[in-house]
Amino acid sequence: MKIIVIGNGMVGQKFCEKLVGQKIEDLELTVFGEETLPAYDRVHLSEYFAGKTVQDLCMKPMGWYAENNVNLHLGDPVTQVDRAQKTVTSFEGKQFSYDYLVFATGSAAFVPQISGIDKHGVFVYRTIEDLNLIWRHAKIAKSAVVIGGGLLGLEAAKAMLDLGIPNTHVVEFAPRLMPRQIDDGGSHVLTEKLKALGITTHTQKNTAVILGNETITGLMFTDGSILSTDMLVISAGIKPRDELAKKIGLHIGHRGGISVNDHMQTSDPSVYAIGECAVHEGAVYGLVAPGYEMAEVAVHQLTGGTRAFGGFDMSTKLKLIGIDVASFGDPFIGNEDARSIVYHDNHKGIYQRINVSNDGTELLGGILVGDAEAYNKLQQICANKLTIPSDPAGLIRASGDTPNAPDNFELPASALICSCEGVKKQGIEDAVVQNGCESFDAVKKCTGAGSGCGGCTPMVKDIINATLKKQGKLVRNIICEHFAYSRQELYDIIRIKELHSFDEVLDSLGTGDGCEICRPAVSSILASLWNELIIKNESATSQDTNDRFLANIQKGGTYSVVPRIPGGEITPEKLIVIGTIAKKYNLYTKITGGQRIDLFGAHLNDLPLIWEELIAAGFESGHAYGKALRTVKSCVGSTWCRFGLHDSVSFAVRVENRYKGLRAPHKIKSAVSGCIRECAEAQSKDFGIIATEKGWNLYVCGNGGSKPQHALLLAADIDSETCIRYIDRFLMFYIKTADPLTRTATWLNKMEGGIDYLRNVVVHDSLGIAAELEAQMQTLADHYECEWKKAVETPELRKRFTHFINAPEAKDPTIVFEPLRAQKKAAEW
């Protein structure tokens, strides 16, 4: 079969890819492209100015065409077609015959007839060549105007920003930006956001004349106003490239475009047209996803399939200059046919509108500007006519909460999930059930879903997990390639089998030789179960470096030392000891966020010496290196503070001493505040205690860090003994059930039933395990010993703290420090 494709743009290329994938034995595929570059990603064209190269943008490297026997002629457009003889002739005079001819000629920029349009400094925005011309001119431009406030125009405006042009304007004929996608309210929010970025918007402006002699100096509008500028980029729409089709007598639409039927056939059954050059039922589709669908339909037709093109849902979500803009269904449907719910927050720059049928049962369409997180769900609800909540306002953002669209809505099998690749829900389910694809990557490889823009990735993952669950397969959250268990399963099995070392665990439960993921995870479980010395011989090397050397490795390879200072309370004598040691070993000292003192820059060889002195002065390890209890911070409380209700320091010291050395899936931080003023910031901790008139309030699962989260109230007005019991149960439950390296906040976020479930387990003992949890915690507390004391007192352990095994006295000569204020810092890497 001889197939010739005219045009090597995104859609033409996709057609080739899909056709080659059909493995037709006698296929002779020839492609002519007008541009000198092979097909590139026009959707992300503006990224060319943001640093992407032509290679980055190219869809397939040149080698792909050769490997797949695609005969590619670049820089050589087809100029003549003889439909009777079924031959084409190129500009360079090459002649080929075809069985089927495919027009994928795309579109050109629509350039309005304006006087002066041929002046220097006026550009269109369509090809890499256009971009190169713009780039050259932009070097001397201080201002730029883009005509066209639609999708492409705003992309072009972003390109002007990336080129560093300080003064950019967008001119739109319609009364608002993106008139095909959003309404006045959305446009208003978008305009404000653009303004903040330095882009000025002018709507309802019709350009009359382009001013200047040879080179543009400004624009005059029909209302007589003038806008000065050094360059003009026209991005006011597209015009199908149908000139060759017209010349050879194919049927052309009223407003241009090659007419095609549902099978992408033109008026000549041997000639097809796909992408932006085609007009289907009066519509030209200027987006890439429908173009890909057309390519798919054409390939089906040529290979005996039956797939038909039935129009395309023009719902879109995009990030324009970092601003989310989305519209779905019928975004504009009027007052008589629908009721609209609008959430408009000018302060944050969020505009959301949903249109609901008059009887309140159906979602008909909507617009999201500034925050389009709910897009996937809303678009699916709309496209599949799913039942909506009785109060539909909850579907969009309300007073700063995240949108609460129903999580468990059931999509029909026909729901289109990946619009770039045209993959339906059924296709993903089939990949899971019939082809055994059980991961996102496997499904992506098998179906193509998620390989385009990637916007559907979360939905694809949800469908995979739901399908696996339906099959009765556990959605397993295994640790790594060496253990087919979750952390919780491993914890239980190790406890029941009474395994005590990593190798024992590996040999009885795993395969291979372990790795940097499972070794620390298993070590943490062992420590949480038995609380044995983590650096005893066979265990040391399965600890993370910090645990292996009982100190935190820092830039340059030195370590930091953190003695425990429970509750942040320290005597002057102990402060002097720390100062003396820091001076002796030349350490940088800093107060930490957890109310203790960190000593940086210690050589590995010096660690036992430093700790020997610290221990002699009554200090213990602070476990700053471990996934373990770190600090219990406190405010000064009722002993000194005039507002304090209880003695928060004494309680913090008690709590810290009870849980010191406790190892967990991740680090644990705590705090005790003496009153509601909360000076210890207990609500940002894994567990936090705040004094009340009647006792203590216990908060759990708070977090600082990159995703701050307030702790939630677990129990109110409890006495000290009850508080400790609840913390015992809470921490043991966390240790037993959390995934590796999961902080309590994330653990709770993933827990079905959330804080209410956790409260039932911890306070109301709904699982009947409270006594067991308390007993296990008591055992761990009874087994506590200071690791550093053991290390410095045991010659076997102590000798490990050397850099060179064959020169134990020598320190690492490559370690370098630089001076910093009155101290020092690690050299930059």
Partner 1 sequence: MDKNNWIYACKATDMPHNGGVCVQYGTEQIALYYFTHRNEWYATQNLCPHKKQMALSRGMLGSQQGEPKVACPFHKKTFSLKNGQCLNDEACSAIKTYPVKVHEGNIFINVASILTPHSSTPIEYEPQ
Please report, as ranges, the residues that interact with partner 1 according to CB under 8 A. 481-482, 502-503, 506, 512-516, 518-520, 537-538, 540-542, 544-546, 548-549, 553, 556-557, 800, 803-807, 810, 812-815, 829
Least distance in Å: CB of 499 to partner 1? 15
Instruction: Decide if 448 contacts 480 (C-beta within 8 A).
Output: no
Least distance in Å: CB of 558 to partner 1? 11
**Cβ proximity to partner 1, 213 vs 829, nearer residue:** 829
**Cβ proximity to partner 1, 557 vs 754, nearer residue:** 557
The beta-strand segments (E) located in 374-507 are 416-418, 423-424
Q: Which of 353, 360, 361, 359 is nearest to 330 (CA)?
A: 353
**Cβ proximity to partner 1, 752 vs 809, nearer residue:** 809
Least distance in Å: CB of 807 to partner 1? 5
Least distance in Å: CB of 538 to partner 1? 6
If residue 672 lies in a helix (H) or strand (E), which one and from where to where?
Answer: strand 668-673
Least distance in Å: CB of 625 to partner 1? 11
Residue owning tokens 């295994």: 478
* Per-residue CA distances from 733 to 485, 494, 667, 668 (Å): 18, 16, 15, 13
Instruction: Decide if 407 contacts 442 (C-beta within 8 A).
Output: no
**Cβ proximity to partner 1, 197 vs 810, nearer residue:** 810
The beta-strand segments (E) located in 684-795 are 687-691, 696-700, 712-718
Least distance in Å: CB of 500 to partner 1? 14
Least distance in Å: CB of 546 to partner 1? 8
**Cβ proximity to partner 1, 55 vs 571, nearer residue:** 55
**Cβ proximity to partner 1, 730 vs 801, nearer residue:** 801
**Cβ proximity to partner 1, 712 vs 741, nearer residue:** 741
**Cβ proximity to partner 1, 451 vs 605, nearer residue:** 605
**Cβ proximity to partner 1, 92 vs 538, nearer residue:** 538
If residue 345 lies in a helix (H) or strand (E), which one and from where to where?
Answer: strand 338-345
Least distance in Å: CB of 514 to partner 1? 5
Q: Which of 222, 229, 301, 289 is nearest to 260 (CA)?
A: 301
Instruction: Decide if 72 contacts 65 (C-beta within 8 A).
Output: yes
Determine the Cα–Cα distance for residues 18 and 415; give it in Å rounded to an integer: 22
Residues 6+ apart with CB under 8 A from 165: 138, 141, 142, 143, 144, 231
Q: Give me the residues paired with residue 673 across strands.
A: 690
For 124-175, the DSSP string reads E-SSHHHHHHHHHHHTT-SEEEEE--SHHHHHHHHHHHHTT-SEEEEE-SSS
Least distance in Å: CB of 482 to partner 1? 8
**Cβ proximity to partner 1, 502 vs 733, nearer residue:** 502
**Cβ proximity to partner 1, 540 vs 781, nearer residue:** 540
β-pair type (668-673, 629-634): parallel
Determine the Cα–Cα distance for residues 384 and 362; give it in Å rounded to an integer: 10
If residue 721 lies in a helix (H) or strand (E), which one and from where to where?
Answer: helix 720-737
Residues 6+ apart with CB under 8 A from 616: none
**Cβ proximity to partner 1, 13 vs 546, nearer residue:** 546
Question: Residue 2, exposed/middle/buried by CB under 10 A (0-12, 13-18, 19+)?
Answer: middle
Determine the Cα–Cα distance for residues 666 and 741; give it in Å rounded to an integer: 5
Q: Is the dihedral of CA 779, 780, 786, 788 positive or negative?
A: positive
Least distance in Å: CB of 443 to partner 1? 22
Determine the Cα–Cα distance for residues 626 and 669; give it in Å rounded to an integer: 12
Least distance in Å: CB of 505 to partner 1? 12
Instruction: Find the Cα–Cα–Cα–Cα dihedral 118, 120, 123, 128, rounded to 10°.
Output: 120
Residues 6+ apart with CB under 8 A from 82: 88, 89
Q: What are phi and psi of 363, to 5 degrees?
A: -90, 120
**Cβ proximity to partner 1, 391 vs 818, nearer residue:** 818
β-pair type (107-109, 122-124): unpaired
Least distance in Å: CB of 547 to partner 1? 11
Q: Which of 743, 685, 736 is nearest to 712 (CA)?
A: 685
Report angle CA 607, 611, 615 to the nearest 5 degrees: 175
* Per-residue CA distances from 327 to 195, 280, 438 (Å): 22, 22, 32
Q: Which of 337, 330, 374, 329 is nearest to 357 (CA)?
A: 337
Report angle CA 97, 103, 109 to the nearest 5 degrees: 140
User: Which strands form 143-147's sheet, in the order they lie side by side?
Assistant: 122-124, 231-234, 143-147, 167-171, 199-202
Q: What is the token pair recorded at 667?
A: 């680090």
Least distance in Å: CB of 805 to partner 1? 4
Least distance in Å: CB of 515 to partner 1? 3
**Cβ proximity to partner 1, 409 vs 804, nearer residue:** 804
**Cβ proximity to partner 1, 503 vs 612, nearer residue:** 503
**Cβ proximity to partner 1, 501 vs 657, nearer residue:** 501
Residues 6+ apart with CB under 8 A from 358: 337, 338, 339
**Cβ proximity to partner 1, 11 vs 522, nearer residue:** 522
Least distance in Å: CB of 806 to partner 1? 6
**Cβ proximity to partner 1, 351 vs 549, nearer residue:** 549
